[in-house]
Structure 1
């Protein structure tokens, strides 16, 4: 990846629906050259998909978006946790992280009771020893990737 790829990624993070023509104009490439770079990054796994991010305040109160810091039990493996988490309803992202916790889990729950059920299942079925949950109040825009 070079500086131009990083610039393209930053623009796509802000607006994944931008046309290749407009993307090319913003980075100084033709529409075809911009499209080729995006296709290459998708093929190479740099871009793994496109996501719709919904502001919790904008969806009419249709549930909670939560971030759960997870610490695994000593007998749990990363592989077993990731497999178990993938089977649990409401989990939208699982990220292995550094620091005090092992994973950061992003999830959606209909209400506090559904969140409680999800947390109980994480502890009972996925090998979680400890969790700390934060509730999203609203979404903020993501900054573009810094230049290389």
Structure 2
């Protein structure tokens, strides 16, 4: 049996994947490649945010030390979601396209930085390894269940 991954490791892996997709998007020279990268970014960010909201944030609410971070994190998710929906309706040739992509990238970078420094540190102080691994499984299960819904929303 594969070693269970804790939720923080899984979240970090998602962060790295999205960072790579943004790099690919920036290097993209064709409309198809741009569209493919955007589709992947849309899918990854939505799955990640929804799974965090279903699994990670409820667990964080159990501890005073981590509950304080949730409101801002949820606001950041909402900001990214709004930008994703705006970008989804645009063509790469639209005047605002690159600006919206930059806004999204900055919003995601800010969220990732706060999450990996402040939030993860607080979570590690409160939660035991067993809880983090259990949450990791729940996080993966939530993403698997949500995938069809998120993919359908891309179109």
TM superposition score normalised by structure 1: 0.22
More strand by percentage: 1
Greater relative CO (CA pairs within 8 A, separation 6+): 2
Larger CA Rg, structure 1 vs 2: 1
